[in-house]
A and B are shown apart, each in its own frame.
Chain A
Amino acid sequence: MVDYLWMIPAVPLGASLVILSLSNARRKSATALAVIGQVLALAMSVLAFAATLQVPGFRAVRNFTWFTFGEQTLRLGSVLDPLAAAMLVMITLVGLWIFVFSVGYMAEDKNFTRFFAYLSFFSGAMLGLVIANSLLLLFIFWELVGLASYLLIGFWIERPGAAAAAKKAFITTRIGDMGFFLGMLWLYGRSGTLLFYDGGNGCLENGGLAMLGTSPAVAGFIALLIFCGAAGKSGQFPLHVWLPDAMEGPTPVSALIHAATMVAAGVFLVARVYPLFLLGAINGVTSSLTVVVWIGVTTALMAALIAIAQEDIKRILAYSTISQLGLMMVSLGVGGVAAGIMHLLTHGFFKALLFLGAGSVIHGCHGEQDIRKMGGLRGLMPVTFVTYAIGMMALSGVPLFFSGGWTKEEILHATAHWPRSHAPYYLMLAGVVLTALYMTRQIIYVFFGNPRAAAERAHESPRVMTMPLIVLALCAIFLSVVLTPAWPWLHAYLTGEPVRFEITRLLQPMLFISLAVVGAGIGVGIWIYRKAGVPDRDRPAEIDPLEYAQPGLFRFLANKMWIDEFYEGTVVAFSWIGARFSDWMDRYFWDGLVRGFGAIGQLFGTFTASVDERGINAGVDETTAGTRGLGRVISAAHSGQIQTYLGAIAIGMLALLLLYAWLA
């Protein structure tokens, strides 16, 4: 199976190239190609997944030499293990339904075929990233994912906001990628290989780690540099600013970025190179992992707080993604790798569901995204409402019936047992309350109450858009089967342990804690927002209840804690000052030098001119007349057409070649 693994990313990438070569009018062929490519990738991913089930802890690699440079050999490869296989299935499955949804959502767009080419490209790049067995190959696909996100966020390029958001996403993630690249070079310099697994000699195996092991501090720095890249892609503080702006792209793109591709890449990368983070660990704690934990905690809480005060339906979801990614990073940092990846997988399903649901709402409300102008969509869009509510409960972590609840619990469980500090656990509990609160707020604003301005002419979306919602909602529920503590099949699959069924483990004290916490969040949400969107006492309808109670705090959160403004005032301002300084140096200092030399030359010129004028001009004049006559004849060949010259050069070269051939 591993020998054919390369075909999984190759099929969508190939489909993308073919679609790009189609004309704009071939909408049906473009759709068919993209969806068939995704279906094929899904089928092959399921086969790969089945192959990993043979033995616990299955791992197969296939390496090949890319090129030899002097004595150095650069090798790339693909790897199939539970981590990769689970990601493959999630990406292709979620991706497929997002593709189907896009058929309906983008139906009226004039660049329909280009959109599907980019979508396929995005999915293919992400699949390649997942199966890479070399940090370099992973980096290549990593950058392709970045490129695809740039193209898709800026898909509506005629909108200045979309173009700016695409640039922001590209440049912000590039800052992180710089760290990633440095870490990769350092790792190569130390261990001499970038292959993850290579029969014991890869950089994640004992052979490679032994070369790093002499100095755990170096391994920690390398791990943190690589984490910079992960933080950029996965929207961790302080590089999260691009993610909310990425909402400028079409909604299916947001779903793809926030669920299956792009942001998942960062978490996946940390899980993939986890042995580097763990090198020299005492009791499962290293300084690099501690950094990961605190970055994750900061991100999760900050984003959850900001989400409470946003008005744009997609922006709320964007901040919830940042928050959930922070949660996953915390889980990885405290040692719950399987829990983090499980949450990544379930999050992929329910976040795609929520985004597509939001897309359906926006579609139904004729492009309106402000939740204050919606309301009462419960009756008008029943399918969207039910599926969205399922997604909301999975995201809030309602226990028992929703996949997100089980994985969130698993993460809390791992966090509670972190030896270094208990603070992350309590902060994460606060994060869960906030998550339930902002999702309740969103649901009340969008689906309950009376229809407001944008919701009056709302309609349910066509079948091609509701179908993916239903399928993803079912996934969000039925995925729980393999997640419960009674039968933790997925956990065992990822860690390679045996699994057994034990119904008594279903009820743990943690379950009641999270039940209480989520209940508190939803209850407080219902109590605060019960009269959202309608006037209450002296509060006008369009003012948020929280804004009415705490205007200062609300403004702080609604303006995203002024982080963008802070960057504008520091990073952007500094580089602008640098640019101005360089401009000034160029304009006055270097230019002044040049002008000085020019003046000297001019002086000299005046001197020689006077000599020349008094010298013998007559003879020169005579010669000039002759030359001028000759010049007039020759200048006919001087047509001013650059291509004539080029042609003459080509003919001359050909003549020289012929002469050479004749002489030899």
Chain B
Amino acid sequence: MTPSLQVFLIVSAAVFSIGLLAALSRRHAIFILIGIEMMLAAANLNFIAFWRFNPQPKQPIGVMIALFAIAIAAAEAAVGLALVIAVYRHYRTTNVDQLDQLKG
């Protein structure tokens, strides 16, 4: 028994919202990164779900897109973490409230 498409979409929307909330409200740069990863995961879940429920699921398009997205997410996480480390070394903090040097 597989749950219906709506269930997947609701779960994905929930994960996305939690990720967004984390990205918007946490002060620690790492947690913001985690929030972004969660939003990406929600998008991936959507890809898989729509692919799974489309009338011709033989062609693994959805999975391929999700795999690419995962690979890109990994690259993004690597760059993001490297940035966080660089920022921490430079400013001795990862609290994004204090990182406002780009203020206009």
Contact = CB atoms under 8 A, between A and B. Distances in A.
A446 B20 CA distance: 61
B58 interface: yes
Contacts of A635: 104
Given A69-B63, A70-B60, A650-B20, A638 B103 contact: yes
Interface string B76-104: 00000000000000000000110111111
Given A69-B60, A69-B63, A70-B58, A640 B102 contact: yes
Contacts of A640: 99-104
A647 interface: yes
A13 B99 CA distance: 41
Interface in B49-75: 58-60, 63
A345 B103 CA distance: 67
Contacts of B104: 631, 634-640
A643 B23 contact: yes
Contacts of A647: 24
B100 A639 contact: yes
Contacts of B58: 70
A650 B25 CA distance: 13
B103 A650 contact: no
A642 interface: yes
B60 A650 contact: no
A549 interface: no
A611 interface: no
A646 B23 CA distance: 8
A623 interface: no
Contacts, number: 39
A508 interface: no
Contacts of B40: none
Given A646-B23, A647-B24, A650-B20, A639 B103 contact: yes
A501 B32 CA distance: 70
Contacts of A65: none
Nearest to A72: B60
Contact of B24 (A631, A636, A639, A646): A646
A637 B102 CA distance: 12
Contacts of A54: none
Contacts of B99: 640, 642
A411 to B, nearest CB: 47
B7 to A, nearest CB: 18
Q: Which of B20, B101, B104 has the most CB of A within 10 A?
A: B104
A179 B100 CA distance: 49
B89 to A, nearest CB: 18
A410 B58 CA distance: 55
A606 interface: no
Interface of A: 69-70, 631, 634-643, 646-647, 650
Question: 6 tightest A-B contacts by CB?
Answer: A638-B104, A635-B104, A640-B103, A640-B100, A640-B102, A70-B60
